Amino acid sequence: MTIAADDRTRCAWAGDDPEYRRYHDEEWGVALHGDRALYEKMTLEGFQAGLSWITILRKRPRFREVFAGFDPSVVARFDEGDVDRLMADAGIIRNRAKIEAAIGNARLVDAMADGELDALMWSFAPRGRRARPQSMTEIPATTLESVAMSKALRARGFRFVGPTTMYALMQSTGMVDDHIVGCWRAN
């Protein structure tokens, strides 16, 4: 737990960084729906693999700009020239495999019926409420649900959707609520 200058007790990972605190307070654990919004989270979580989330948060405005607001129908039309353009952009994470996965994943989302990605991903949200974690050490890196979500997405051809990445997505989109006991956001 951490207590900030505003006297709010937060999950320890929120720390003192204002952007992290804002993300913790306003986004993390809040139910997020919509194919476009979930495609964005999937993409950003994929780019985060191996890096810290604060790096992604700080670069998110530029990601949104260069990935056409994460509109899957626009990103699906990106070509090799766009990959080269993105690889040259220091404002994002310049990893060719992740960039190509983001484009390939957009093509898969674009080919789905409206609402299909949302329904698919939310179908893996755990039913019922589990015990709220007492500390960060009680928060798992993966769950049976995140493993199943990862397998289902991979079977459809999605990339950079491993079980750990999908659990982080489940946390960030409110499919699970891992705010620890004592955090002001814990309900």
Query: Can you give the pLDDT at residue 32?
Result: 98
120 pLDDT more than 80: yes
Q: Is 24 annotated as a binding residue?
A: yes
What's the confidence (pLDDT) of residue 24? Answer: 95
Give per-residue pLDDT as tens, 77-114. Answer: 999 999 999 999 999 999 999 999 999 999 999 999 99
Q: Which residues are catalytic?
A: 23, 45, 53
Known binder of ligand: residue 179? Answer: yes
Q: What element of type H or E holds 10?
A: strand 9-10
With b for 16 or more beta-carbon neighbours within 10 A and e for fewer, the 118-128 pattern comes to bebbbebeeee
Q: What pLDDT does 52 receive?
A: 92
Quote the CATH superfamily of domain 2-173: Hypothetical protein; domain 2 (1.10.340.30)
The pLDDT score that the predictor gives to residue 164 is: 97
What are 2-23's pLDDT values in tens digits? 666 678 899 999 988 999 999 9
- Residue 2's pLDDT is 62
Residue where the block lists tokens 């070509």 = 79
